[in-house]
């Protein structure tokens, strides 16, 4: 999927403004795609939580073909109308993660499965940008590059969906280990929110900023490296993200070793708080010339993903399993994503229109310190809340625990 979403970010589109505004054309592309992606997350709260197993594979392939058609539109449309094409590229892509997650959630090995999935999207983001940079060096125009990368990965995507659709449903042992995962209608979604409202509000506020941070680092990596004095080099993206992907894979897989769901929830929160501390520590080390700019990008990325990746499933998997909530974790995941990408739009608009005097590196550095402070506080508060909910559930008689 990332081959249809991220390659355009490898280009800088220098010298182009969005109409007669102070908005850089690349920022307009990024925002337009994120707005479409964000709307897709709101739609996904309903679609992904209700869609039956029989229709998931068809939906996955159909959504990707719409996104690919939008990339062709991006290549041929006039510069300012390319923004519209990026909106329609992001609109279908936001539901891919939720549909894939529906195949994996509710299993004893959920953390292990999501560890692989999370590693793949961290690595994929940098790898498809690397492929895009290579194509531009080979002479492919920067506006045709995203569609070209998509064409390369179209067949592998379809094969992957075919294999994913052959995955069996969770077994009786899986259901006993976690909790039964079902579709959720509107009434059940509202009941879930009422049950966990204070904790969800804290997590949603946190994720508002965390998604914006992760997206800013990811989309403006070329500009940040340039501001730090690095020459244009396609492999810089992979050098910055490959170690992160491996590290996240190890940490997320290790969480699967914790079988008790309450202890597992504590472990997840420990990992996320550790990510916030790492971001602040890495920035201090860079400020005192202890580490290089590349290592700073690696460490803040690792810290951000330690906090970000569990929201993709592991955090809500453990919350639902430890509290015995009935439904699907995809609803909570997509509600978080919808709020998160709203934050991404707001922060990137603020950078160009409210903090234009800062270059991309300076803005990211300040954002890192702020994110670490806000994140640590809200993780602690929400962790106390959900652990209290889990203890309350465990004290109920078995027949009333749901």
Token pair 């969005």 in the structure block, residue: 18
**C-alpha distances in Å from residue 325, one per residue of 57, 180, 183, 186:** 27, 9, 13, 16
CA–CA gap between residue 226 and residue 228 (Å, rounded): 5
Sign of CA dihedral 24, 29, 30, 34: positive
Task: Output the pLDDT for position 401.
Answer: 41
Q: Tokens for 254? A: 């290790």
Domain residues for 349?
A: 2-400
Dihedrals phi, psi of 138, to nearest 5 degrees: -80, -5
Token pair 């920022």 in the structure block, residue: 27
Count other Cβ atoms within 10 Å, centred on residue 219.
Answer: 25
Task: Output the pLDDT for position 187.
Answer: 81
Task: Output the pLDDT for position 338.
Answer: 84
Task: Output the pLDDT for position 258.
Answer: 86
The reported pTM is 0.77
Rounded to the nearest 10 degrees, the angle between the axes of helix 314-323 and helix 360-394 is 20
CA–CA gap between residue 219 and residue 12 (Å, rounded): 10
Q: What is the full per-residue pLDDT of the chain (402 aa) written as tens digits?
A: 999 999 998 888 877 667 777 677 888 898 899 899 889 988 888 888 788 888 999 999 999 999 999 999 999 998 889 999 999 999 999 899 889 988 887 777 776 787 788 778 888 888 898 899 999 999 999 999 999 999 999 999 999 999 999 988 877 777 666 555 566 677 888 888 888 999 999 999 999 999 999 999 988 888 899 999 998 787 888 888 889 988 988 898 888 788 888 999 999 999 999 999 999 999 999 999 999 999 999 999 999 999 998 887 788 888 888 887 776 777 888 888 889 888 988 898 888 788 888 899 999 999 999 999 999 999 999 999 999 988 887 655 544 444
CA–CA gap between residue 101 and residue 110 (Å, rounded): 10
Dihedrals phi, psi of 88, to nearest 5 degrees: -75, -15
Here the CATH number for the domain that contains residue 229 is 1.20.1250.20
Q: How many domains are contained in the chain?
A: 1
């Amino acid at each position: 999927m990332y081959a249809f979403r991220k390659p355009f970010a490898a280009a800088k589109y220098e010298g182009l403004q969005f109409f007669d505004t102070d908005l850089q054309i690349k920022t307009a592309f990024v925002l337009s795609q994120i707005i479409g992606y964000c709307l897709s997350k709101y739609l996904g709260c309903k679609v992904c939580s209700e869609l039956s197993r029989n229709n998931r594979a068809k939906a996955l392939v159909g959504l990707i073909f719409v996104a690919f058609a939008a990339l062709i539109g991006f290549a041929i449309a006039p510069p300012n109308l390319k923004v519209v094409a990026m909106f329609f590229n992001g609109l279908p892509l936001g539901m891919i993660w939720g549909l894939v997650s529906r195949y994996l959630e509710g299993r004893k090995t959920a953390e292990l499965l999501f560890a692989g999935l999370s590693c793949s999207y961290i690595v994929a983001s940098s790898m498809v940008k690397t492929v895009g940079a290579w194509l531009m060096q080979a002479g492919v125009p920067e506006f045709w590059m995203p569609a070209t990368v998509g064409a390369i990965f179209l067949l592998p995507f379809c094969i992957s969906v075919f294999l994913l659709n052959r995955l069996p449903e969770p077994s009786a042992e899986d259901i006993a280990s976690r909790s039964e995962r079902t579709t959720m209608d509107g009434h059940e979604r509202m009941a879930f929110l009422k049950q966990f409202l204070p904790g969800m509000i804290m997590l949603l506020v946190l994720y508002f900023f965390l998604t914006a941070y992760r997206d800013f680092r990811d989309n403006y990596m070329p500009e940040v490296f340039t501001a730090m004095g690095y020459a244009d080099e396609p492999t810089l993206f992979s050098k910055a993200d490959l170690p992160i992907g491996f590290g996240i894979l190890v940490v997320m897989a290790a969480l699967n070793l914790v079988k008790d769901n309450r202890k597992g929830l504590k472990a997840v929160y420990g990992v996320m708080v550790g990510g916030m501390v790492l971001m602040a520590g890495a920035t201090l080390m860079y400020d005192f010339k202890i580490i290089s700019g590349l290592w700073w990008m690696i460490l803040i990325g690792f810290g951000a993903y330690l906090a970000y990746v569990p929201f993709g499933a592991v955090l809500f998997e453990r919350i639902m399993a430890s509290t015995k909530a009935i439904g699907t974790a995809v609803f909570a995941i997509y509600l978080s994503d919808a709020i998160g990408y709203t934050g991404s739009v707001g922060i990137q608009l603020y950078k160009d229109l409210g903090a234009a005097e800062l270059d991309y590196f300076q803005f990211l550095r300040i954002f890192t310190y702020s994110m670490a402070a806000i994140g640590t506080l809200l993780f602690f508060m929400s962790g106390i809340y959900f652990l209290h909910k889990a203890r309350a559930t465990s004290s109920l008689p078995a027949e009333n625990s749901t």
